[in-house]
Amino acid sequence: MMWNAFFSAIALVFIFEGTLPFLSPTLWRQSLKTLLKQSNISVRLMGFLSMMVGVILLHFVRSFVGE
């Protein structure tokens, strides 16, 4: 059961990551150009905040489901 949930989560990441380049390749390229101009500290901070939002969201989802 654990592997099923893990691979389902990975599949969802691929789906979400592929949505913007599929729907708007120009906007996706502009976003990457903007990201490349950012400092390493800014990129790390964005990554950290993204991870924390994911952890908090996962905590709330699991607490409501009761796992």
Q: Which pTM was predicted?
A: 0.72
Looking at the structure, do residues 28 and 50 belong to the same domain, yes or no?
Answer: no
Closest to 19 in 3D by CA, of 5, 4, 31 = 31
Alpha helix ranges (H) inside the chain: 2-23, 25-36, 40-65
45 and 31 assigned to the same domain: no
pLDDT tens for the chain, 67 residues long, are 688 888 988 999 999 999 999 999 999 999 999 999 999 999 999 999 999 999 998 888 888 876 5
Tell me, what's the pLDDT at 5? 84
Residues 24 and 43 in one domain: no
| 29 and 6 within one domain | yes
What is the total count of domains within the chain? 2
The answer to whether residues 46 and 57 belong to one domain is yes
Structural domain harbouring 62: 39-67
Q: Are residues 47 and 29 in the same domain?
A: no
